[in-house]
């Protein structure tokens, strides 16, 4: 596969992202926000230079947090001596020096300002600062004893959750809890978030099949397939439980009271429909996931097709085609969009043979329209009208096709006292009978045009079909 | 689906080519939501009848679940997309104008009005392939991929730049000998019209629903219709280009593609 330099860089970056540890991805993900936090607009976009030891320092810091976390899991919350931490770390990082560890601990315990802003309901932006949410370890004053802070625990918990980012059934549990706690106003946001999340992951599945560079992620999905399927099943159980709970009389009653109390703008059925949409998404995702695993487990999945368009352009221009205009026209007629010249629709436009009446054993009853509301509206009247005026109309149609608007403006018809050419409205349904000749028939074709005319103070408006005389062979 | 509903849906499809039950980048068009509802809720027998009706005119109905494009559903909306696509047969209805694009390229201003058909054909082929480079090859996207259509963008200025670079590169290689240099001559003689051709081409692609505005002036995104048609193209028309194992193969396959045959040249 030929790739441009940019393409190669993108590929490399993508590959790196797949193998980067979760904790590092988390740090990398917030790094630009921190850089922006430290930036001045007049100096332009800031990207700080990274010192040589950056990677080493970061790995020591994460190892410290990991060791303290493991000890806490084993022993419960408490302080740990720095010597013990050093000893434990030395087994995984043999080159670690004590002064390096001390520098790392000094950094992790130091607090710094993080500025942010709060949006008030009045549209104001109030500046805020946080200070004590930045240190990751606590050192007991005067002792070489350390422990994890709440901030570090939060970081480790989120880092651990990353393994579940593919899908977490716990998210669906929130729906049940929200109903149990009468937090009906939160359900819309939960459902919206879940649907967006599932839809995004679903399209990722489809992209992986198309994208060879995501092999690492694909392998991970296959490896974790059973776990993800189980997670999806649990999520479906949770959503079904939420739907069942919402449909119980107790909850319906509680919802109605809550709605009245809170003056909520949505109804019980709105909430139900939100939950059902989540269930539909989960089911669609589950189906696609099974399909995805099946495809990948095939002995030889179909190769992904890529086309080198630039190479194709070069070859076309290199004189390789003996009749370039003809061959390129053939290509263009197949790939470029076509136009529609559909001002008139004629049954002859149909490529195949379609007879819409084939299964309809219906006798056509002519519809008659007259501007004279008191006039007798029956088929006999239409036949009489047609018989008297057929010749005039046929003579006119022999010259050229005729629009209905032109027809009603025509003169020379033999009309009774209460008749007008508008009585020709009837020919929409009995156009075949109007012709009266075995060798020709009148076809009514529909057009996009509209017409408007006035007879005796009555405005008549409608679509403007075109009448065509067709020879019968 | 009654015949009246079928007529309404057909009219909408003929006009817009794409019907979204849950459009994300624009408000729903008049009657669009109803048309999608008719198609979503009708029986499979009705759908079959409708498809037969379309088939008689050289079209087919393509159905895409918007969820599979990464579009989350909204309560009360059908998360479906229906598209009117060509059947890739020779039997198109007479009202379908296959020369429409070339006719549109001949506008009333400048050189494009008087341009010879060969000149237009060569530029169109070049521009179409270049546009596909932006949508697929540039981002290493497979031509069968639908979900990536909302990420596939092209700007007028970049499009012109790539076209110009391509022509420069062609000119540097020199004119092929004899009759083989015919296209080279035509493109060389008309290279001053690159910008005009490119703008016109993108405008017609926009009018025909193959690209959509991406929000900024002069920036466009591939439409779902174009992605669906490309998927068909790669299966039916461009298959001869693949697999692209080496340059010699590609040369052979490219010619086969353009001749519309699988025979080796």
pLDDT in tens, A318-329: 777 777 788 788
Residues of B in contact with A200 (CB under 8 A): 70, 72
Q: Does residue B162 surpass a pLDDT of 90?
A: yes
Rounded to an integer, the average pLDDT of B115-132 is 88
Mean pLDDT, chain A, whole residue set? 77
| Average pLDDT rounded to a whole number, residues B16-29 | 88
Domains and CATH numbers, chain B: 3-86 (3.90.1150), 100-232 (1.10.10)
Q: Which residue in the set A307, A342, A354 is minimally distant from B242, CB to CB?
A: A307
Q: What is the pLDDT of residues A11-50, one digit of tens each?
A: 445 544 556 777 788 888 899 999 999 998 888 888 888 9
The pLDDT value recorded for residue A37 is: 92
Mean pLDDT for the stretch of residues A408-435? 67
Q: Which residues in chain B have Cβ-Cβ distances shorter than 8 Å to A340?
A: 14, 95-97
* Three-state secondary structure readout of A60-95: HHHHHHHHHHHHHHHHCCCCEEHHHHHHHHHHHCCC
Q: Which pLDDT score, from 0 to 100, does residue A354 have? A: 44
Q: Is A347 on the interface with B (CB under 8 A)?
A: no
* Contact list, A337 vs chain B (CB under 8 Å): 100-101, 205, 208-210
Is the pLDDT assigned to residue A202 strictly greater than 60? Answer: yes
Better pLDDT: B253 or A80:
A80
Backbone φ and ψ for B159, nearest 5 degrees, come out as -60, -45
Q: Residue A366's pLDDT is what?
A: 46
pLDDT at A289: 84
Does B245 score more than 60 pLDDT? no
Residues A86-98 have a mean pLDDT of 91
The verdict on A147 touching B (C-beta cutoff 8 Å) is no
Q: Quick one: which of A73, A59, A71, A54 has its CA closest to A23?
A: A59
| pLDDT band at residue A2 using 50, 70 and 90 as cut-offs | very low
- Choice between A88 and A306, residue whose per-residue pLDDT is larger: A88
DSSP B76-127: TS--EEEEEEE-SSS---TTEETTHHHHHHS-SSHHHHH--HHHHHHHHHHH
pLDDT tens by residue, B203-215 = 999 999 999 988 8
| pLDDT higher than 80, residue B101 | yes
How far is Cα B244 from Cα A180, in angstroms, rounded to an integer?
A: 59
Q: How close B216 comes to chain A (CA, Å)?
A: 23
Could you give the CA distance from residue A67 to residue A62 in angstroms, rounded to a whole number?
Answer: 9
Taking the CA atoms of B25, B27, B30 and B32 in sequence, report the sign of the dihedral they define: positive
d(CA A346, CA B95): 9
CB-nearest partner of B75 from A274, A310, A331 = A274
CA closest to B186 among chain A residues: A317
Q: Who wins on pLDDT, A307 or A151?
A: A151
CB distance from A339 to chain B under 8 Å? Answer: yes
Chain-chain contact of A325 with B141 (C-beta, under 8 angstroms): no
For the cut 70, the answer to whether the pLDDT of residue B106 exceeds it is yes
Locate the chain A residue with the closest alpha carbon to B52.
Answer: A354
Task: Name the pairing type of β-strands A80-81 and A145-148.
Answer: antiparallel
Of residues A3 and B19, more confidently modeled: B19
Residue B125: list chain A partners with CB under 8 A: 316, 328, 331-332
The answer to whether the CB atoms of A325 and B122 lie below 8 A apart is: yes
- Given a cut of 90, whether residue A234 has pLDDT beyond it is no
Taking the C-alpha atoms of residue B213 and residue B231, their distance in angstroms, rounded to an integer, is 21
Residue B244 — very low, low, confident or very high, per pLDDT cuts 50/70/90? very low
Indicate the average pLDDT of chain B: 82
Among A125-139, A434-448, B185-199, which stretch is predicted with the lowest mean pLDDT?
Answer: A434-448
**Contact between A65 and A25 (Cβ < 8 Å):** no
Query: Which among A4, A320, A339 has CB closest to B251?
Result: A320
Predicted confidence (pLDDT) per residue in A337-385, tens digit: 888 776 655 555 555 444 444 444 545 444 444 445 454 445 566 667 7
Q: In chain A, which among 148-177 make CB contacts under 8 A with chain B?
A: none
Contact (CB<8Å) B133/A309: yes
Q: Reduced to 3 states, what is the DSSP secondary structure of residue A144?
A: coil
Cα–Cα distances (Å) from A247 to A19, A25, A178, A181, A250, in that order, read 46, 42, 14, 15, 8
For B95, the closest of A200, A303, A342 (CB atoms) is: A342
Winning range, highest mean pLDDT, from A19-28, A38-47, A158-167, A292-301? A38-47
Interface probe, candidates A209, A243, A271, A335, chain B, greatest B C-beta count within 10 A: A335
Query: For residues A120 and A137, what is the distance between their CA atoms, to the nearest angstrom?
Result: 33
For range B237-251, the mean pLDDT: 51
- Return the percent helix, strand and coil in chain B, to nearest 5: 60, 10, 30
Q: What percent of chain A has pLDDT over 90?
A: 16
pLDDT at position B265 is 26
Among A195-204, A280-289, A414-423, the range with the most confident prediction by mean pLDDT is: A280-289
Residue A445 binned pLDDT confidence (cut-offs 50, 70, 90): confident
- Please tell me which of the candidates A191, A202, A318 has its beta carbon nearest to residue B67: A202
Q: Quick check: A302 contacting B, CB < 8 Å? A: no
Give the pLDDT mean for A214-232.
Answer: 73
In Å, how far is A322's CA from the nearest CA of chain B? 7
A360 touches chain B (CB under 8 A): no
Topology given in CATH for the domain delimited by A51-162? Arc Repressor Mutant, subunit A (1.10.10)
CB nearest to A352's CB, from B55, B125, B177: B55
* ipTM of model: 0.82
Show residues of chain A in contact with B102, CB under 8 Å. 332
Which residue ranges make up each domain of chain A? 51-162, 166-297, 339-473
Q: What pLDDT was estimated at residue B194?
A: 92
pLDDT of residue B228: 92
Interface check A277 vs B, CB under 8 A: yes
């Amino acid at each position: 596969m030929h790739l441009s330099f940019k393409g190669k860089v993108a590929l490399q970056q993508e590959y790196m992202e797949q193998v980067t540890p979760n904790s590092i991805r988390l740090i990398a993900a917030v790094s630009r926000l921190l850089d922006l936090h430290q930036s001045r607009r007049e100096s332009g976009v800031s990207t700080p230079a990274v010192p040589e030891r950056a990677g080493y320092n970061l790995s020591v810091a994460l190892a410290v947090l990991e060791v303290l976390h493991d000890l806490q899991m084993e022993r419960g919350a408490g302080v740990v001596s720095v010597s013990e931490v050093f000893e434990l770390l030395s087994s995984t990082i043999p080159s670690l020096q004590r002064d390096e560890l001390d520098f790392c601990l000094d950094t992790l315990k130091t607090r710094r300002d993080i500025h942010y802003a709060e949006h008030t309901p009045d549209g104001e932006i109030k500046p805020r600062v946080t200070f004590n949410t930045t240190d990751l370890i606590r050192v007991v004053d005067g002792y070489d004893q350390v422990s994890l802070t709440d901030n570090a625990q939060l970081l480790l918990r989120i880092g651990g959750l990353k393994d579940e980012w593919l899908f977490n059934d716990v998210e669906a549990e929130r729906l049940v809890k929200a109903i149990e706690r009468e937090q009906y106003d939160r359900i819309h946001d939960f459902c919206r978030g879940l649907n967006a999340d599932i839809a995004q992951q679903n399209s990722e599945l489809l992209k992986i099949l198309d994208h060879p560079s995501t092999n690492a992620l694909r392998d991970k999905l296959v490896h974790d397939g059973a776990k993800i399927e189980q997670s999806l099943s649990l999520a479906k159980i949770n959503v079904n439980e939420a739907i069942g709970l919402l449909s119980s009389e107790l909850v319906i009653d509680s919802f109605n009271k809550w709605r009245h109390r809170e003056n909520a703008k949505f109804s019980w059925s709105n909430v139900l429909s939100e939950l059902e949409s989540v269930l539909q998404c989960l089911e669609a995702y589950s189906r696609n996931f099974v399909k995805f695993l099946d495809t990948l487990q095939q002995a030889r999945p179909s190769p992904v097709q890529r086309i080198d368009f630039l190479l194709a352009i070069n070859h076309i221009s290199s004189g390789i085609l003996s009749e370039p205009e003809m061959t390129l026209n053939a290509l263009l007629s197949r790939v470029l969009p076509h136009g529609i010249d559909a001002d008139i629709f004629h049954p002859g436009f149909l490529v195949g043979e379609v007879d819409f009446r084939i299964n309809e054993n219906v006798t056509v009853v002519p519809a008659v329209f007259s501007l004279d509301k008191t006039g007798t509206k029956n088929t006999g009247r239409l036949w009489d009208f047609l018989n008297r005026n057929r010749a005039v109309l046929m003579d006119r149609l022999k010259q050229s096709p005729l629009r209905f608007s032109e027809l009603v403006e025509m003169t020379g018809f033999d009309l009774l006292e209460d008749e007008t050419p508008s009585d020709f409205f009837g020919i929409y349904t009995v156009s075949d009978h109007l012709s009266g000749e075995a060798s020709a028939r009148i076809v009514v074709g529909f057009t996009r045009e509209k017409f408007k005319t006035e007879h005796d103070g009555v405005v008549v408006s409608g679509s403007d079909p075109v009448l065509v005389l067709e020879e019968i062979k | 689906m009654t015949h009246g509903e079928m007529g309404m849906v057909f009219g909408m499809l003929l006009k817009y080519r794409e019907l979204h039950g849950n459009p994300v980048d624009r408000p729903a068009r008049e009657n669009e939501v109803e048309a999608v509802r008719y198609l979503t809720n009708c029986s499979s027998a009705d759908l079959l009848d409708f498809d037969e009706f379309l088939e008689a005119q050289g079209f087919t109905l393509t159905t895409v679940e918007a969820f599979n494009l990464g579009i989350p559903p909204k309560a009360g909306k059908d998360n479906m997309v229906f598209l009117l696509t060509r059947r890739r047969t020779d039997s198109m209805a007479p009202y379908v104008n296959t020369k429409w694009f070339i006719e549109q390229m001949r506008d009333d201003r400048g050189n494009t009005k008087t341009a010879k058909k060969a000149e237009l054909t060569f530029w169109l082929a070049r521009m179409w392939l270049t546009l596909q480079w932006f949508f697929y090859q540039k981002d290493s996207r497979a031509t069968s991929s639908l979900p990536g259509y909302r990420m596939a963008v092209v700007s007028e200025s970049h499009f012109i730049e790539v076209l110009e670079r391509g022509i420069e590169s062609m000119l540097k290689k020199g004119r092929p000998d004899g009759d083989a240099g015919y296209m080279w001559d035509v493109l060389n003689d008309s290279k001053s019209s690159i910008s005009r051709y490119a703008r016109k081409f993108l405008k017609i692609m926009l009018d025909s629903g193959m690209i959509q505005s991406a929000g900024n002036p002069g920036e466009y995104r591939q439409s779902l219709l174009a992605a669906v048609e490309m998927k068909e193209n790669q299966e039916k028309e461009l298959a001869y280009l693949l697999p692209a194992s080496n340059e010699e193969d590609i040369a052979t396959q490219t010619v086969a593609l353009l001749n519309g045959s699988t025979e080796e040249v």
